């Protein structure tokens, strides 16, 4: 006769109660059934586990067996709970790529809170340009893409996670530098400094499209590889630029920032993933970011400090 988990439970309950009637009730069986099964277990093991009279008590051999049964139950329960956590995605690993301009939004704070709530998920965060993220996601090098662009692919799914506002940046002393808000059309005759198209194609297109919707094509007189170089040209008076309003970016002396007085002056942030690759941990992160997406909705009309943007 083999000894199974139900027998381990019988032994541990009887060891806890030390009373056949109470143990039988706890196990949902009749007392004679309990006595018969205990006798069968003792014969199978070849040792007496319990003293019946004058009162129920564990024998030394019984104490050793019951201790082993309790450890087995504890380890089994822990394994079951760990398996459930793995299935829920609370244990695992995720590689997430994020555009550097998105780093200066509320999303990194949301991701950090996710890490604190799920410490057994290894979350790797990689700074990656939007154009690079598409190939990395399709090749399985990343699990989640937080990007400026919709990524193409048969199984790639994209949704808008939030938006960042555009702002105008101009040198101190500019004719509009005293305003908290400016209309984009007021910059139509201004020379523009902008990052190169290859650095962030989607963001570059959005800025141009925003200007065109307001009746002009920006006169780009200077391009640069890095946003800090763009800002250096703005501060030196080469022209103005349109940038993303980013939280936590350092103040930039000599540059004035103003909100754009257009309702559609926002850039979407996309959340992308490959649904053919199953990952409970990734799905847990996606749900977390969706619930926290309200953090990206900024109040309109607040004062804006001059800030140094980053590449998309």
The CATH code of the domain that includes 22 is: 1.10.10.10
Both 59 and 198 in one domain: the answer is: no
Output the pLDDT for position 142: 95
Minimum mean pLDDT among 10-14, 59-63, 101-105: which range? 101-105
Residues 207, 184, single domain; the answer is: yes
Same domain? For 111 and 72 the reply is no
* 120 within 8 A of 91, measured Cβ to Cβ: yes
**239 and 202 share one domain:** yes
Q: 249 or 231: which carries more pLDDT confidence?
A: 231
Residues 171 and 242 in one domain: yes
Model-level pTM greater than 0.75? no
Query: Which residue range forms the structural domain that includes residue 251?
Result: 163-266
Is residue 185 domain-shared with residue 254, that is, in the same domain? yes
Q: 277 in a domain, yes or no?
A: yes
Q: Work out the pLDDT band at 80, boundaries 50, 70, 90.
A: confident
Nearest CA among 197, 199, 255, 260 for reference residue 231:
255
Residues 222 and 144 in one domain: no
pLDDT in tens, 284-306: 999 999 987 655 444 333 334 44
Tokens of 256: 């004035």
Q: Which of 88, 108, 143 is at the close of a domain?
A: 88
Q: What is the pLDDT of residue 246?
A: 67
CATH of residue 130's domain is 3.40.190.10
Answer whether residue 286 is part of any domain.
Answer: yes
Which of 9-13, 163-167, 299-303 has the highest average model confidence (pLDDT)?
Answer: 9-13
Domain identity same for 224 and 81 = no
Residues ≥6 apart with Cβ < 8 Å to 169: 231, 234, 240, 241, 242, 243, 252, 255, 256, 257, 306
User: pLDDT (tens digit, 9 = 90+) per residue, 182-227?
Assistant: 999 999 999 999 988 877 788 889 999 999 999 999 999 999 887 7
Q: Measure CA 81 to chain center.
A: 23
Average pLDDT, the chain: 86
- Same structural domain, 252 and 281: no
**pLDDT of 74:** 82
Q: How many domains does the chain have?
A: 3
Measured distance between the N- and C-terminal CA atoms of the chain, rounded to whole angstroms = 68
The answer to whether position 307 is within a domain reads no
Q: Tell me, what's the pLDDT at 299?
A: 36
Q: Which pLDDT belongs to residue 307?
A: 41
Percent of the chain with pLDDT over 70: 91
Strand partners, 98: 127, 146
What does the alpha-carbon distance between residue 18 and residue 34 come to, in Å, rounded to a whole number? 13
Question: 116 falls in which pLDDT band (50, 70, 90)?
Answer: very high
Same-domain pairing of 169 and 187: yes
Q: Per-residue pLDDT averaged across 5-14, rounded?
A: 90
Q: Please tell me whether residues 82 and 31 are part of one structural domain.
A: yes
Q: So what's the pLDDT on residue 1?
A: 57
Share of the chain above pLDDT 90, in %: 53
Kindly state whether residue 302 falls inside one of the protein's structural domains: no
Note whether 122 and 68 are same-domain residues: no
């Amino acid at each position: 006769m083999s000894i199974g988990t139900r027998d381990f439970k019988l032994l541990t309950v009887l060891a806890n109660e030390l009373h056949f009637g109470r143990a039988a009730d706890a196990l949902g069986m009749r007392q004679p059934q309990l006595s018969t099964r205990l006798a069968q277990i003792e014969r199978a093991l070849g040792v007496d586990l319990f003293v019946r009279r004058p009162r129920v008590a564990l024998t030394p051999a019984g104490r050793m067996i019951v201790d082993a049964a309790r450890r087995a139950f504890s380890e089994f329960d822990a394994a079951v709970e760990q398996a459930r956590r793995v299935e829920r995605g609370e244990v695992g690993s995720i590689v997430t790529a994020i555009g550097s301009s998105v780093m200066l939004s509320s999303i990194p704070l949301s991701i950090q809170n996710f890490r604190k709530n799920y410490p057994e998920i290894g979350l790797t965060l990689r700074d990656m340009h939007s154009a690079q993220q598409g190939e990395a996601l399709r090749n399985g090098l990343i699990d989640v893409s937080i990007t400026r662009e919709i990524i193409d692919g048969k199984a790639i799914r994209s949704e808008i996670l939030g938006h960042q506002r555009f702002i105008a940046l101009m040198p101190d002393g500019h004719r509009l530098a005293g305003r908290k808000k400016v209309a984009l059309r007021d910059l139509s005759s201004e020379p523009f400094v902008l990052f190169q198209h290859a650095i962030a194609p989607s963001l570059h297109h959005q800025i141009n499209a925003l200007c065109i919707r307001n009746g002009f094509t920006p006169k780009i007189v200077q391009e640069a590889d890095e946003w800090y170089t763009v800002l250096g040209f703005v501060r030196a008076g080469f022209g103005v630029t349109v940038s993303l309003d980013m939280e936590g970016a350092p103040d930039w002396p000599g540059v004035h920032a103003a909100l754009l007085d257009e309702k559609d002056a926002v850039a979407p942030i996309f959340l992308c993933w490959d649904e053919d690759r199953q990952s409970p941990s990734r799905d847990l992160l996606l749900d977390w970011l969706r619930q926290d997406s309200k953090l990206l909705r900024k109040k309109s009309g607040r004062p804006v400090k001059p800030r140094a943007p980053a590449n998309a």
